[in-house]
Chain A
Amino acid sequence: MRDLFAVVMLGGIYSLLSASLFLDLDAVDVAFTEASVGAGISTLLLLASLKLVSRYERRTRYKPALALGVIVVTGALLIYGTLDMPHFGSADAPAHQHVAPRYLEDSMEEVGVPNVVTSVLASYRGYDTLGETLVIFTAGIGVLSLLLVSQVTKDESIKKVPADMQQQIILRVVAKMMLPLILLFALYVQFHGDYGPGGGFQAGVIFAAGVILYTMLFGLSNAQRVFKREILELLTAFGVLIYAGVGVVCMLLGGNFLDYNVLRHDPVHGQHLGILLVELGVGITVAAVMITIFFKFTWRTVKHKYIKE
């Protein structure tokens, strides 16, 4: 398929379908993440990047037969590898023998958070989540360094280029009604993650989606009056700093890295505080990175358009 727009749309549909698959498997948190990150923001960012490049893929001059062969062989090997694994849902799989029962049975006493997924993600597996946050941070840095466009221009009029959808009155009115709800929902997902499905990743992405909606309808300059570029770039690092900082504070208080028990006198309270802070850090980084990437893309488009005219 050479129409990249259709490819992006199919990717989004695929994500949404797999989200419903996860929901069917009772993995609500994963489904939520897949729906908001996979179907939502990545489709949006891909569409934004499609605006920078052309819509149709160029014809390749080489024959990709060798690449296809490598992929088929690798895929076959991977499938062969799964044959050794325990059957799906089998009770004597290693994961169901010692790790999962411990999390399910002791999490309420040790961590005291009703949503076990959050306690696994932010407390038991705190290192992994720190790594994931760092990956997102690195992605943001990567985009920033690839699109090395400085926004400092002498010409002030370029800042007043209206948004593409400036004229769409219906969209603007509806967006104005929905925007507070979207941002409020993001905060709800952020701080309710201990009790229900949700957490920093989803909340950050939903918040960013709200800001992106605003940017598309009301223009980059309006959005950047609220979300200053410098502050956003600072916030991408600040979230990671909060996360790692909590770990360091734990060490200073005499525990291990990211061992929240020592944060308060009561271990369970310490866990609550630690998880709250860590999720906040994740949310800040994710939202700031997504908004920064979108702003960079939009800035490129605005600049190209302006130069052309």
Chain B
Amino acid sequence: MELVIDIISWLFLIVGSFFCLTGGLGLLRFPDFFSRIHAASLTDTLGASLILIGLMFQAGWGLVMAKLLLILLFSLLAGTTASHAMAKAALKSGLKPLEFKKGVYKELSGETSSKP
């Protein structure tokens, strides 16, 4: 039984770490702000929550699990909201997403900024 729990837990931890790694890579390599913020938010939603779930399996029932659950809820709420706020602020202040056309990146044409 313990072995099964360990395997499940490590599965979660490894997949979570993979998402953190790809998130970091995307943050460095993506071409514009909006795709980068997508990568960054991937790190703190999918990456962090999978790692936290993996840690919950390690902790077992108890106070530690409750605390991890609270951290998970909090980071899910706060991380996604922060990403949303940043993306919206960027759009409002006039930053336009890039568009990939015929092998080059170009600024998306047309009205993108939402009215205040």
Residues of chain A at the chain B interface (Cβ within 8 Å): 167-168, 170-171, 174, 177-178, 181
Instruction: Give the CA-CA distance A167 to B92 in the complex, in Å.
Output: 13
A selection of 13 A-B contacts at a CB cut-off of 8 Å is A167-B116, A168-B88, A170-B81, A170-B84, A170-B85, A171-B81, A171-B84, A174-B77, A174-B78, A174-B81, A177-B77, A178-B77, A178-B78
Instruction: Give the CA-CA distance A171 to B77 in the complex, in Å.
Output: 10
Question: What chain A residues lie within 8 Å of B84 (beta carbons)?
Answer: 170-171
CB distance from B111 to the nearest CB of A (A): 18
Give the number of residue pairs across the A-B interface with Cβ within 8 Å.
17
Instruction: Give the CA-CA distance A281 to B99 in the complex, in Å.
Output: 56
Instruction: Give the CA-CA distance A167 to B81 in the complex, in Å.
Output: 15
Question: What chain A residues lie within 8 Å of B77 (beta carbons)?
Answer: 174, 177-178
Main secondary structure of the interface of A (DSSP, over half): helix
Question: What chain B residues lie within 8 Å of A174 (beta carbons)?
Answer: 77-78, 81
Residues of chain B at the chain A interface (Cβ within 8 Å): 74, 77-78, 81, 84-85, 88, 116
The 10 closest A-B pairs by CB, nearest first: A174-B81, A174-B77, A170-B84, A171-B85, A178-B77, A171-B81, A170-B81, A177-B77, A167-B116, A178-B78
Instruction: Give the CA-CA distance A217 to B81 in the complex, in Å.
Output: 13
Question: What chain B residues lie within 8 Å of A177 (beta carbons)?
Answer: 77
Instruction: Give the CA-CA distance A177 to B74 in the complex, in Å.
Output: 10
Question: What chain A residues lie within 8 Å of B85 (beta carbons)?
Answer: 168, 170-171
Question: What chain B residues lie within 8 Å of A178 (beta carbons)?
Answer: 74, 77-78
Output the residue of B78, B85, B116 with the most chain A CB within 10 A. B85
* Known A170-B85, A178-B77; 8 more pairs at CB < 8 Å: A167-B116, A168-B85, A168-B88, A170-B81, A174-B77, A178-B74, A178-B78, A181-B74
CB distance from A168 to the nearest CB of B (A): 7
CB distance from A181 to the nearest CB of B (A): 7
Question: What chain B residues lie within 8 Å of A181 (beta carbons)?
Answer: 74
Instruction: Give the CA-CA distance A239 to B108 in the complex, in Å.
Output: 55
Question: What chain A residues lie within 8 Å of B81 (beta carbons)?
Answer: 170-171, 174
CB distance from B84 to the nearest CB of A (A): 6
Question: What chain A residues lie within 8 Å of B116 (beta carbons)?
Answer: 167
Question: What chain A residues lie within 8 Å of B74 (beta carbons)?
Answer: 178, 181
CB distance from A188 to the nearest CB of B (A): 11
